[in-house]
Chain A
Amino acid sequence: MVKVTRGTLVKCDPAMKEFLIHLDETMAIGTKFIIEDLDEQHLFIQTDAIETLMARVDDLMDKISFPMTEKS
């Protein structure tokens, strides 16, 4: 039987995909949100998780960036 699911297709680089999978496995946003792992660059996820994920990715980028200028 053909299975029909509604959601959001996310296209990203493999590294970002791993991060998303990590978030999913550790239930970082409270629930699982990945519906289907499609291929190296594509994930199929629940639409309502997008906003939270965007914020999480922002946080990650904040964490791994190093301020170049000294605060005076």
Chain B
Amino acid sequence: MNDDKEAGKAGKSSIKTLQCSNLYEYLKTLSPAVIDRLYTYPIICLAIYRDLPVVAKHYVIRILFVEQPVPQAEANEVTQVLSDLRVWHETSIPGGLPAWELNPVFKKNFKNSLLGGGRTWGIKANLETDSKARDVDYLDKYAMERWECVLHYMVGSKQQEGISVDAVRVLLHAGLMRQDDEDGSPVITKEGFQFLLLDTAEQVWYFMLQYLDTAASRNLDLVNCLAFLFQLSFSTLGKDYCADGMTEEMLTFLQHLREFGLVYQRKRKGGKFYPTRLALNITNRDSSGLAAQRKDGFVVVESNYRIYAYTDSNLQVALIGLFAELLYRFPNMVVGTLTRDSICMALRSGITADQIVNFLRLHAHPRLVAKGPPILPPTITDQINLWEKERDRFGCSDGILYSQFLSHSDFSILRDFAQEHGLLVWQNDQKKNHGRQFWWL
């Protein structure tokens, strides 16, 4: 089996796994001009530096104050990362040796961010004390409430207030929902189901990336928005910031963030806002900031395929309902079973077995965690995987069959050509009724 066949398969099967790229992968997709403009913000330089691999950090910090290009050492992944991000570029020093030189814009602004100087950056803290200050718990609660509003909308539960047209547009653009053929109302897609099973930080990041994609269409400047997001991510939780002096454009952006729960504002025109944990975690998803926020798990899975979910949230119940058959509902818990039918239903709607298992593991009740590892009964995880495999009994790849060659040399010429170009997926050089056949994608 060669690479081409793999590619063919991926295109063929309708299940597409949701790709949640990290900051580096996202920046790589931006055009060089945009990246260069990003580097005019010291805060972005700092954020990108923070996200670099350790070795790359060393490179950058060591040559930051070297005012001339440095000769190139061997190229490796790390140097490639720096080139991709346009943190440095290749140049040559006298004598014709290849060398690295830091991007002057990056260099200047990164120095600014480390040493201070230049115009003030970052969002202004509010100097007056807020008479109705909000504490961290309140903000966390608020943020989750807003965010769950979006998720609620996706699963289509009616109890919550709706979300704005803008947010719906982002969901549609992201392919998480699509317009129903009949009445044009948005319905959830396969990707949407996968999205629901991600953890919150990943969801926010994915959602914001898609939002930024559509930024241009709502007259927002991508670079300004990104810069503002990064500024938020460097702010302090539970502190209020001043919205005075922000441009009209950024105020619009702020209102959108407010809707998704990334910032809290008591009044639209209040002039101050509190960033929430969702915003703080947006650029450093791997760090421990998130762990502090993670609520205790609530799902108990037993080896007899029963699921007990201690939750009163309709959203959580709806999520469990995606892949389990719900039996009883009590005020503070639901009971369900994992059956072949319920899992197959989930698989058919595009969720993968891994995602289900990950979801269960992520939300496992502390008592399961305490008993583990393994957190989940192995019979359950194995069976879910088996049920998935059962559906995947054959692999397909589109292709063209060449058969009934006149001579063996014809056959081998074509075969060697296909092999060279990585196009061969199947061949048979035994003499059969039809002569020799082989496959070409």
Residues of A within 8 A of B (CB): 1-13, 16, 20, 35-36, 38-39, 42, 44, 47, 50, 57-58, 61-62, 65, 67-69, 72
Contact = CB atoms under 8 A, between A and B. Distances in A.
Given A9-B399, A11-B394, A69 B305 contact: yes
B393 A57 contact: yes
A4 B396 contact: no
A1 B404 contact: yes
Interface of B: 12, 304-305, 327, 337, 339-341, 344, 348, 390-391, 393-406, 410, 425-426, 428, 434, 437, 439
B339 A67 contact: yes
Q: Which 6 A-B pairs have the closest CB atoms?
A: A12-B394, A3-B404, A5-B401, A11-B395, A3-B403, A16-B393
Contacts of A16: 393-394
Contact of B337 (A11, A13, A69): A69
Contact of B403 (A2, A10, A57, A72): A2
A2 B410 contact: yes
A1 B406 CA distance: 6
Nearest to B383: A68
Nearest to A11: B395
Contact of A5 (B12, B397, B400): B400
B390 A61 contact: yes
A72 B327 contact: yes
B400 A6 contact: yes
Contacts of A6: 398-401
Contact of B406 (A2, A8, A35): A2
B396 A8 contact: yes
A67 B395 contact: no
A30 B109 CA distance: 69
Nearest to A58: B391
Contacts of B402: 2-4
A2 B426 contact: no
